[in-house]
Structure 1
Amino acid sequence: MSLPEEFDIIVCGGGSAGCVVAGRLANLDHNLTVLLIEAGESNLNNPWVFRPGIYPRNMKLDSKTASFYESRPSKWLAGRKAVVPCAHILGGGSSINFMMYTRASASDYDDFQAEGWTTKELLPLMKKHETYQRPCHNKEVHGFEGPIKVSFGNYTYPIKDDFLRATDSQGIPTVDDLEDLQTGHGAEHWLKWINRDTGRRSDSAHAYIHATRAVHSNLYLACNTKVDKVIIKDGRAVAVRTVPTKPLHPKQLNTRTFKARKQIVVSGGTLSSPLILQRSGIGDPEKLKAAGVEPIVDLPGVGLNFQDHYLTFSVYRAKPETESFDDFVRGDPEVQKRVFDEWALKGTGPLATNGIEAGVKIRPTEEELKEFENWPTSHFKSGWESYFKNKPDKPVMHYSVIAGWFGDHMLMPPGKFFTMFHFLEYPFSRGSTHIKSANPYETPDFDTGFMNDERDMAPMVWGYVKSRETARRMDAYAGEVENMHPFFDYDSPARCYDMDLATTKAYALPGNLTAGITHGSWSSHLPKAEKLPSDNILSSNKRDVREDLQYSKRDIEQVEEWVKRHVESTWHSLGTCSMAPREGNSIVKHGVLDPRLNVHGVKGLKVADLSVCPDNVGCNTYSTALLIGEKAAVLVAEDLGYSGEALEMKVPTYHAPGELTLPFRL
């Protein structure tokens, strides 16, 4: 269908937040015309999107559903360039993310220091977008009528219980609801953005866009269309210029301009929204001139304050009887057929989960904080005192167990595995991104800033050490995959050992690997400190556990070097169009947006995505993106004069083809 030239509202970017904004506003008043522009393809009923267990495919470098931004080389990353993936499909991250349901802490939104953005004020919007599909003792903080579904999925790998027993033995309590906005230390069975009734991923495009377009005709969609810039006249945003996602010829841009009568909302995401503003003439005047763009609005904060969560993986061998998704990922045809058939018939089985079944949010003890001070990079104390100490709802680290290895099995030895992935919740490091020219296809000057504040090193090291102790206490544990861990000296008691169970015939006793080795030559290569007699096994009323490994200063140096060489993005970037006063505040030096998400100095132009966050949030950020979308929709509606019941903006329920007639519903 050909698109009109003019609309009431234009939303630039069909990611997690943009879909919420467009869908809500289209349902606000069916006389309003809304255009949603998305650079990627539509995700409508795409099985590679809605089948949850397929999500690793979207991480491949040849992925058509993700774009990859490469940063400058960094001394903080041992000379590496960081690569930050961004979704390139309708629904944004909600179409391809890990589906982990976690929520920010209450103090996170309070720390934004923005009117109308306290957690108390935002809680109704948090509840508005979700349907919480599990027994709940905290009904005051969860929603039960929203378009986005939250459940345990339709399958749980047994390693969940193994992990929770191990964390409990470490003194990390298992809690019923770690996402109550208050609990900053504990373990839980992870919930997922999966519809329990269908087994499908619950993404924002199906929930807000496709559901609306199925029954109403006022929401227009332009996929495979890239936003070049916003056109500003007399201080007001009046139109959007677009180009094809991929040009037919370098000199043939085929531009098209769409006019907006009432409002333009930029929702391109943390790495695209600032570039759109800069190409529109909004940003640091000197940088804009250098890029060949005429400055219109002096806002030097555009593109600054880039933040992310920092991720490392560590992989462990699992005993042969451990249930994992390794055979499925490895490509075993019988396993794949069985898994696909079960999901197609009933919406259950391994495809109805992400394989990330349990995890923790943790804060260090006083003893651990003192230990940090003896480590080579020991600068975390000031950060703890100023940021974490008096806010017990803020976790320092996340880590979770994955029931297998979802990377390239051609690079791995045969066997079964489980993975720990750990990420830092509130890094102190900051980066930036700026255009190098007015060409919308040129890559930006991007500096992630990863690890450029040394206060971030100690918690990253601690996350590895802590999760490794959890792994060593699990029944599934059968050694480390050495090339997925730090390289320790040969005689270090902390050295990793890669054990091939198929040849050694060695099995681990509960909680103690080395005491169970009776076959093969592997044990003969252990340094003396690692050959533990049975009386060195600690006894508890629940299970046998091992003493913690002792790391020397040299060992910690090796972990630090490993972090530098392996730390990467968690796909949780935010902050580049920060909501703060123009001259900044205690969080950022230069703000870009006011509390109503208006771009300073421009009328009719808002930004609504994770780039608006002036400070970090301790969660997998889909929940925050949904919240920002809901808040932005309300703000636009209020600006247009709507109030009362109209602000509820109910959206229709989406039903996949044939969904209502399937014989099996849970």
Structure 2
Amino acid sequence: MVHPQEVDVIVCGGGPAGCVVAGRLAYADPNLKVMLIEGGSNNRDDPWVYRPGIYVKNMQRDGINDKATFYTDTMESSHLRGRRSIVPCANILGGGSSINFQMYTRASASDWDDFKSEGWTCQDLVPLMKRVELQLENYQKPSNSDTHGYEGPIAISNGGQITPVAHDFLRASHAIGVPFSDDIQDLTTAHGAEIWAKYINRHTGRRSDAATAYVHSVMDVQNNLFLRTNARVSRVIFEGNKAVGVAYVPSRNRAHGGKVHETIVKAKKYVVLSSGTLGTPQILERSGVGAADLLKKLDIKVVSDLPGVGEQYQDHYTTLSLYRVSNDTFTTDDFLRGDKQTQMEASQQPSPEKARLSSNCIDAGFKIRPTEEELKEMGPEFNKLWNEYFKDKPDKPVMFGSIVSGAYADHTLLPPGKYVTMFQYLEYPASRGKIHIQSSNPYVEPFFDSGFMNNKADFAPIRWSYKKTREVARRMDAFRGELASHHPHFHPASPAAVKDIDIKTAKEILPNGLTVGIHMGTWHRPSEPYDASKVHEDIKYTEEDDKAIDDWISDHVETTWHSLGTCAMKPREEGGVVDHRLNVFGTTNLKCVDLSICPDNLGTNTYSSALLVGEKGADLLLEDLGLKVRLPHAPVPHAPVPKGVAATQQPR
């Protein structure tokens, strides 16, 4: 495709929100020329993208994978005991939707209401939520909620087969006081467990990514959407304070003699920044929009003095713990371990709804809030936050938890056996970070401070949720012990001490016929499996045990790839960067449309929220352009309808 030197609208960044904006605008008017510029490669028909079960590979930093860019803290953090956190960001068309865990989660109603911005209440956004979703097979489970959609471009299902260990998890969760719910994504439920839906088209077995749904589908039938991949937007070009185009460079540094070779594209109507929470503020600052002191220091002409650019970085934090399960439990461990027979069988399964690789094997999870008794043990810092933020908003969960049917870890470092992974996710951290450029050169790494755990209030809920998921694991029928290397280092004499064994040693000393299942130091023959129903009391933890958990959190807490908040939508005098129509303060014809605009956190796996922000941004742009959204009424051209499947069940 020949790329024009001038278009009507330029969208900078091909993540979920950018794909929505580019696709909706181009489809609304075939005469409107739209260019989408993405720093990563094209995701179209890439098996590493569309096969849901191999998402783990896309998260690895191995020198081969180029689907993610890794931001590392510039300084060591005392809050992480001298560690530097690493935050991967997608570097591929479709953004995180092309490589993420595919977990379908929605923010709570109060999350959107907390934005306190005209047109952004939950009630305002529900119609757009419905517009996004194509819930295959009537949401695949009963739901009394009328907030779900059934004819949108994004397919959501349970994906492939649900592993039996998921039901084991739900039963054990109920035993510790987390009730089963048919739908905890109804915008109001904050304490319940469910079979977790996924961004997977059950009938094709493919991932539901934003580029396939919004970009490729339009480019297949129209010629007014121009896609430029492997190109990094360097800066916005201004005439006065009016955005009139962008300059971009090759994603790989090809500078010669220190010179950066830019390509200029003009925009007659709008420039839209959608390069994500960590990318958008850098483009703004290189363009002269940001804190004047910083820009002058870097010899960048100030277009708009906005000190809020790059500030208030937020994320969700996760820890994970591994548990041994019985050898007859279905897990992904043999596949991930590299067992050739298992991998061959998985790759050759023809039926999408039964294929192993058509699922992420994260089949169950919960949202939880602490009880009054549990709050008493969570310390003054968190209790203050609870009273100010959570107490009067019963729809906000404090933590998420989920189970992975396998070890989310490097299997070359694990003993033989089968495992499940318990993830604990902190949804509303009080900690904050920041990101700022250190040069006008787009290839120079920015200053980055993730801010992880720099507010003490964040330790208590993670500590609490570790204990909760540990109690769930102990009550599962499949439970056979704990992998000590993936748990806190408790004193050996403590009742909380992890019960584990060295597998190699066990094989040498145990007589034939004994399993490696261990619970509280006891052995079990195959005819005498561990009985989870006999677990009646929770583990008791001392102050020393809690300190061990907190140290473990500092040493192991990680990002969930849910960055947001660095270009907040709030008043300029409060550090805001965009107004309620996503216009950048002090400029014209420039909007930000991605999760950087969030003034507060969202309790969700953020793909759903990025799509929603994209739909809202597209509507605002169409209004400004005097156009209306046009909804397709035919299946995506390059996703053929399988035999026996109605066209209405396919992504649009």
Question: What is the TM-score with the length of structure 2 in the denominator?
Answer: 0.94
Contact kept, 8 Å, 1:292 with 1:437, in 2: the verdict is no
SS where residue 161 of structure 2 aligns?
coil
> Following TM superposition, by how much is the alpha carbon of 1:661 offset from its aligned partner in structure 2, in angstroms?
5.9
1:146 aligns with 2:131: no
Alpha-carbon distance in 1 for matches of 2:576, 2:6? 31
Counterpart residue number, 1:262: 269
Deviations 1:246-302 (A, max 9, x none): 122343533111000111110000000000000000000111122332221100000
SS where residue 488 of structure 1 aligns?
coil
Contact kept, 8 Å, 1:211 with 1:651, in 2: the verdict is no
Look up the equivalent residue of 2:173 and give its one-letter code: T
Alpha-carbon distance in 1 for matches of 2:131, 2:158? 20
Q: Which residue, out of 292, 314, 317, partners 1:310?
A: 317
Look up the equivalent residue of 2:96 and give its one-letter code: G
Q: Which residue, out of 236, 241, 247, partners 2:247?
A: 241
Contact kept, 8 Å, 2:179 with 2:193, in 1: the verdict is yes
Alpha-carbon distance in 1 for matches of 2:162, 2:240? 57
> Following TM superposition, by how much is the alpha carbon of 1:507 offset from its aligned partner in structure 2, in angstroms?
5.6
Q: Which residue, out of 214, 223, 228, partners 2:234?
A: 228
Alpha-carbon distance in 2 for matches of 1:17, 1:470? 36
1:159 aligns with 2:165: yes
Counterpart residue number, 1:626: 611
Alpha-carbon distance in 2 for matches of 1:339, 1:123? 38
SS where residue 54 of structure 1 aligns?
helix
Look up the equivalent residue of 1:353 and give its one-letter code: S
Contact kept, 8 Å, 2:368 with 2:400, in 1: the verdict is yes
Deviations 1:179-202 (A, max 9, x none): 000000000000000001111000
Gaps of 5+ in 2: none
Counterpart residue number, 1:208: 214
Counterpart residue number, 2:11: 11
Alpha-carbon distance in 2 for matches of 1:154, 1:626? 23
Counterpart residue number, 2:547: 557
Alpha-carbon distance in 2 for matches of 1:252, 1:291? 17
Equivalent positions of 1:310-389 (< 5 A) are 310-342=317-349, 344-346=350-352, 348-373=354-379, 378-389=380-391
Look up the equivalent residue of 2:587 and give its one-letter code: V
Alpha-carbon distance in 2 for matches of 1:620, 1:388? 19
1:33 aligns with 2:63: no
1:605 aligns with 2:590: yes
Alpha-carbon distance in 2 for matches of 1:200, 1:350? 12
> Following TM superposition, by how much is the alpha carbon of 1:235 offset from its aligned partner in structure 2, in angstroms?
1.5
Contact kept, 8 Å, 1:477 with 1:508, in 2: the verdict is no
Contact kept, 8 Å, 2:145 with 2:186, in 1: the verdict is no
Alpha-carbon distance in 2 for matches of 1:278, 1:359? 40
Contact kept, 8 Å, 1:24 with 1:651, in 2: the verdict is no
Q: Which residue, out of 81, 90, 96, partners 1:78?
A: 81
Q: Which residue, out of 280, 292, 312, partners 2:299?
A: 292
Cα 1:189/1:179, change in 2 over 3 Å? same
Cα 1:664/1:556, change in 2 over 3 Å? same
Deviations 1:109-165 (A, max 9, x none): 000011100000000001101011224433520000000011000211111110001
Look up the equivalent residue of 1:140 and give its one-letter code: D
Alpha-carbon distance in 2 for matches of 1:664, 1:4? 40
Look up the equivalent residue of 2:479 and give its one-letter code: Y
Structure 1 stretch displaced more, 544-553 or 233-242:
544-553
Alpha-carbon distance in 1 for matches of 2:81, 2:621? 45
Look up the equivalent residue of 1:319 and give its one-letter code: S
Report % sequence identity. 50
Counterpart residue number, 1:524: none
Alpha-carbon distance in 1 for matches of 2:159, 2:316? 25
Look up the equivalent residue of 1:28 and give its one-letter code: A
Look up the equivalent residue of 1:90 and give its one-letter code: L
Alpha-carbon distance in 2 for matches of 1:289, 1:561? 41
Cα 1:73/1:463, change in 2 over 3 Å? same
1:581 aligns with 2:568: no
Aligned length: 631
Question: What is the TM-score with the length of structure 1 in the denominator?
Answer: 0.92
> Following TM superposition, by how much is the alpha carbon of 1:408 offset from its aligned partner in structure 2, in angstroms?
1.3
Equivalent positions of 1:647-666 (< 5 A) are 647-650=629-632, 653-656=635-638, 659-660=640-641
Q: Which residue, out of 462, 465, 472, partners 1:463?
A: 465
> Following TM superposition, by how much is the alpha carbon of 1:650 offset from its aligned partner in structure 2, in angstroms?
3.3
Contact kept, 8 Å, 1:316 with 1:419, in 2: the verdict is yes
SS where residue 303 of structure 1 aligns?
coil
- RMSD of the alignment, in Å? 2.0
SS where residue 572 of structure 2 aligns?
coil
Structure 1 stretch displaced more, 292-301 or 547-556:
292-301
Contact kept, 8 Å, 1:104 with 1:619, in 2: the verdict is yes
SS where residue 156 of structure 1 aligns?
coil
1:641 aligns with 2:587: no
Cα 1:506/1:274, change in 2 over 3 Å? farther
1:99 aligns with 2:99: no
Cα 1:345/1:163, change in 2 over 3 Å? closer
Deviations 1:389-436 (A, max 9, x none): 010000000010000013211111111110001110000111100000
Contact kept, 8 Å, 1:379 with 1:454, in 2: the verdict is yes
Look up the equivalent residue of 2:35 and give its one-letter code: L
Contact kept, 8 Å, 1:508 with 1:515, in 2: the verdict is no
> Following TM superposition, by how much is the alpha carbon of 1:544 offset from its aligned partner in structure 2, in angstroms?
3.4
Look up the equivalent residue of 2:632 and give its one-letter code: K
Gaps of 5+ in 1: 521-533, 585-589
Contact kept, 8 Å, 1:207 with 1:653, in 2: the verdict is no
Contact kept, 8 Å, 1:401 with 1:420, in 2: the verdict is yes
Contact kept, 8 Å, 1:291 with 1:435, in 2: the verdict is no
Q: Which residue, out of 406, 409, 416, partners 1:404?
A: 406
Contact kept, 8 Å, 1:162 with 1:476, in 2: the verdict is yes
Counterpart residue number, 1:494: 496
